Structures are given as structure tokens and as C-alpha cells.
């Protein structure tokens, strides 16, 4: 699709190619963040059948932890001063992700585990309540002004062909790839297989001696960790030039079409859906503006992912990679 559009752009001269290249790189970087968010959402959904509405709040909390650790207390950087500053920042970010994963673990144990056996609707409502609580607390932590993350890339950019790409965007993409590979490898481990088995048939998995509770906890911990990674990268230049703020939590909701497009229970679908939404939103923002498209009204770029979602659902009601549910009637 992208190469087809590139040919189309080339007809418009160098300026059109530059515009297209910049839109594509920006869309891929945005898509990587959506993919990270979608990955966490799908992981929790697969294991527990619950759509976690507190995902955005966890993303903001993780980003706050990273900002606090890196810029306020310089932890663990102060103990490893022999390391380069980039490495120190990466360690701070990793600790932030770890803390958020622990928060996910605790939330599952306190708020979700007691609801096992209760209607799923009730559990979803619990996640909405958690969203409100975590957001309120995180907003208090953040304070009145956004908190910069103090990342080593700042506003630096590099030229890759005709595209001008922020270093943070390259980092986002690399980290997304690392997370994807990590998740793929995890599913090959004993616990990963247990999680897949639980997702496939919870009762059968329990009959084989798999602790569903432990699997749920693991899914929440990994999901929260992925949310933190997404929160950190969505709070950087150029997307949020001044850092993590109260608005960071709402960013996650923009990833919802991604999991529907990809298929609610598909890890591959989450990633593909994330990149589709990122690219569609960016292309729509760049190309469907100006007088020619004014009849579409304001904010059409935000609507486009939902239109794509609608089309996908019409063709494949369970998403591009979702499992088709067969019911006897």
C-alpha cells in the first residue's frame, strides 16, 4: 500500500515525495505506539476476556514514573554514574516499566481476582473505576504542569532519505520491535504456553493444573508494563513536546480501533491494527485537509480509523486476525 502511494506521490514532484515520506515515518512511529498499547490490551483480553479501560491510566502512570525517576531522583542513574547518560535514562525507564508492571500485578490481585466468576460486565466496570482512581492519583503526582521525561534524544532529528525522523521515533520503533520479539519468545516459554492454553480454554487449562489466577496476574503485569512503555514514548517529542500530562491517559483510547481491526484476541492483529491506525490517521491528517476536503468537517483524521474499522468488520466481523466464533443455533 505504502509503495503504491509513493508512486502516486512521485508524480507530484520532490515536494510531494518529501511530504509523503514525512507522513509515512510519522504514521509508522504513531502506529508503533498504538501497537504497544493494543498489544497490552489484547494480552489482558486474551487471558481474562476483559477489555481493560484502565490501560491509558496505567500508561500515564508509567510515564510519570519514568519522568520522576529520570529527572527528579535520578534513579538508578545516581548509582551507576560510570554508565553513559543514555544508558542511565534507559535504566530509569526500565525501572518505571517494572514498577508499573508491579502495579498491574497488585491491581489484578486486589480488584480483578475477587471478581472471577462474576459477570464480565461487572469486571469491565471495575476497570473503569480503576481508570478513574489511577488517573486521579497520577494527575496529583504529575502536578499542575506537564513533566518532561528527560530522555536523551530531546528534539533531535535525522534525515532518512527524504524523511526527517525524530530520534525518539526511531527509539519508539526499535522498542516496539523488541517488545514484539519478547512477547513472541514469551509465548514459547512454559508460562507463555500456559497463558495461551488458558486463553484458549480456561477450564481445560485448569484441569491440566495451570493456575488461572497466576496467568491472569501475569497478563496484567505484562499488559501494564507494555502500557508504561507506550505511555513513555507517547509523552516524548514530537508527539507531546512537553512530557507526560493528565492528557496522556486518554491517548490509549485512540488505540481501540486497532484491536478491533486486528481482532480482539490476536497478538499479530494488535500489531498490524496499530500500524494501520497510525498510518491511516496520519495520512488523513496530512492529505484530507484544505479547501478541497473541507466538506469532511473538522477532525476527520480521527474518524478515519473508525471508518477503516467499519469496513474491516463488514468484511471480517472478527477482525483481520481474530478467531472466528462459531455458535450452534
Partner 1 sequence: MKKTRIFVLVLVLTLIAAACGGDSDDTTTTAAAETTTAAAETTTTAAAAETTTTAAAETTTTAAEMVELKVDFGVDVEAKTIKIGQLADLTNFAAFAALVNPIIDGQKMYWDYVNANGGIGDGFMVEMVTRDTAYNPQQHIAAYDEIRDQVVAISHGTGSDTNLSIAEDLAEDHMILVPATWYSGWTDTNVAPGIVHTGAPYCLEAMSLLDWLKDEEAKGGNDAPTLAVASLPGDFGLDSVAGALKWAASNGIEVVYDGKGKILPGQDNAAIGSAIVESGADMVFVTTTPPTFGEVYGAALQQGFEARWTGAGPTYNPAFIGPDSPIAAPIQRDWYGGFYSKPWGSESAGMALIHQLYEEAGSTEPLKDYITLGVVEAMIVEAALRKAYANGDMTREGVFNALYSISDMDFMGIAPPENYTGSTADQVQRSITLYRPNQEDLLAGGSGAVIVQEDFVGPTAEAFEFTEACYTIEG
Number of Cβ within 10 Å of residue 296's Cβ equals 14
* Cβ distance to partner 1 smaller for residue 239 or 316: 239
* Residues between 111 and 140 with contacts to partner 1, criterion CB under 8 A: 111, 114-115, 118, 126, 129, 132-133, 136-137, 139-140
* Residues between 204 and 263 with contacts to partner 1, criterion CB under 8 A: 236-243, 245-247, 250, 254
Strand bridging mode 157-160 / 163-166: antiparallel
Residue 185: CB minimum distance to partner 1, A: 32
Count of alpha carbons within 13 angstroms of residue 192, beta-carbon side: 9
Contact call for residues 68 and 138 (beta carbons, < 8 A): no
Give the interface segment with partner 1, choosing from 47-55, 141-149, 185-193, 210-218 (CB under 8 A): 141-149
- The site string for partner 1 over 153-192 (x = CB under 8 A, - otherwise) reads xxx-x------x-x--------------------------
What Å distances lie between residue 193 and 51, 213, 220, CA to CA? 21, 15, 16
Can you tell me the distance from the alpha carbon of 170 to that of 177, in angstroms, rounded to the nearest whole number?
11
Can you tell me the distance from the alpha carbon of 136 to that of 295, in angstroms, rounded to the nearest whole number?
39
Using CB under 8 A as the binding rule, whether residue 148 contacts partner 1 is answered as yes
Number of Cβ within 10 Å of residue 270's Cβ equals 33
Dihedrals φ, ψ of 242, to 5°?
A: -115, 10
| Site residue total, partner 1 (CB under 8 A) | 56
Q: Is the peptide bond before 76 cis (omega within 30 degrees of 0)?
A: yes
Number of Cβ within 10 Å of residue 221's Cβ equals 22
Can you tell me the distance from the alpha carbon of 98 to that of 120, in angstroms, rounded to the nearest whole number?
28
- The site string for partner 1 over 281-320 (x = CB under 8 A, - otherwise) reads xx--xx--xx-------xx-xx------------------
Using CB under 8 A as the binding rule, whether residue 110 contacts partner 1 is answered as yes
* Cβ distance to partner 1 smaller for residue 146 or 231: 146
Contact call for residues 269 and 263 (beta carbons, < 8 A): yes
Residue 283: CB minimum distance to partner 1, A: 9
Residue 26: CB minimum distance to partner 1, A: 6
* Cβ distance to partner 1 smaller for residue 83 or 115: 115
Can you tell me the distance from the alpha carbon of 61 to that of 103, in angstroms, rounded to the nearest whole number?
9
- Fill in the DSSP letter of residue 70: I
Residue 174: CB minimum distance to partner 1, A: 18
Residue 250: CB minimum distance to partner 1, A: 6
* Cβ distance to partner 1 smaller for residue 115 or 206: 115
Give the interface segment with partner 1, choosing from 6-14, 77-85, 224-232, 280-288 (CB under 8 A): 280-288
Handedness of CA 251, 257, 263, 264 (dihedral sign): positive
Burial class of residue 71, CB neighbours in 10 A (0-12, 13-18, 19+)? middle
C-alpha cell at 191: 508460562
Among positions 9, 20, 23, 252, the unique one binding partner 1 when judged by CB under 8 A: 23
Residue 259: CB minimum distance to partner 1, A: 18
* Cβ distance to partner 1 smaller for residue 74 or 323: 74
Interface with partner 1 (CB under 8 A) = 19, 22-23, 26, 30, 71, 110-111, 114-115, 118, 126, 129, 132-133, 136-137, 139-140, 142, 144-146, 148-151, 153-155, 157, 164, 166, 236-243, 245-247, 250, 254, 281-282, 285-286, 289-290, 298-299, 301-302
Amino acid at each position: 500500500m505504502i509503495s503504491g502511494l509513493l508512486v502516486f506521490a512521485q508524480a507530484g514532484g520532490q515536494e510531494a515525495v518529501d511530504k509523503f515520506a514525512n507522513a509515512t515515518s510519522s504514521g509508522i512511529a504513531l502506529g508503533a505506539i498504538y501497537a504497544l498499547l493494543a498489544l497490552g490490551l489484547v494480552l489482558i483480553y486474551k487471558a481474562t476476556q476483559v477489555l481493560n479501560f484502565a490501560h491509558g491510566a496505567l500508561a500515564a502512570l508509567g510515564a510519570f514514573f519514568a519522568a520522576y525517576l529520570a529527572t527528579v531522583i535520578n534513579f538508578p542513574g545516581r548509582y551507576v554514574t560510570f554508565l553513559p547518560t543514555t544508558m542511565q535514562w534507559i535504566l530509569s525507564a526500565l525501572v518505571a516499566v517494572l514498577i508499573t508492571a508491579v502495579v498491574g500485578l497488585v491491581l489484578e490481585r486486589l480488584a480483578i481476582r475477587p471478581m472471577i466468576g462474576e459477570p464480565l460486565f461487572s469486571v469491565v466496570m471495575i476497570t473503569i473505576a480503576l481508570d478513574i482512581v489511577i488517573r486521579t492519583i497520577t494527575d496529583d503526582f504529575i502536578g499542575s504542569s506537564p513533566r518532561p521525561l528527560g530522555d536523551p534524544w530531546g528534539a533531535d532529528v535525522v534525515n532518512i532519505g527524504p524523511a526527517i525522523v525524530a530520534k525518539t521515533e526511531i527509539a519508539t520503533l526499535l522498542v516496539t520491535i523488541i517488545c514484539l520479539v519478547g512477547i513472541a519468545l514469551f509465548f514459547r516459554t512454559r508460562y507463555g504456553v500456559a497463558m495461551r492454553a488458558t486463553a484458549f480454554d480456561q477450564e481445560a487449562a485448569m484441569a491440566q493444573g495451570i493456575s488461572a489466577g497466576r496467568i491472569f496476574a501475569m497478563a496484567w503485569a505484562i499488559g501494564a508494563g507494555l502500557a508504561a512503555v507506550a505511555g513513555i514514548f507517547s509523552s516524548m517529542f514530537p508527539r507531546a513536546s512537553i512530557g507526560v500530562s493528565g492528557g496522556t491517559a486518554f491517548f490509549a483510547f485512540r488505540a481501540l480501533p486497532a484491536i478491533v481491526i486486528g481482532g480482539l484476541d490476536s497478538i499479530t492483529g494488535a500489531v498490524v491494527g496499530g500500524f494501520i491506525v497510525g498510518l491511516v490517521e496520519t495520512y488523513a491528517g496530512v492529505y484530507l485537509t484544505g479547501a478541497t476536503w473541507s466538506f469532511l468537517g473538522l477532525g476527520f483524521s480521527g474518524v478515519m480509523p473508525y471508518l477503516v474499522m467499519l469496513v474491516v468488520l463488514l468484511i471480517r466481523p472478527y477482525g483481520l486476525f481474530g478467531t472466528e466464533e462459531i455458535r450452534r443455533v
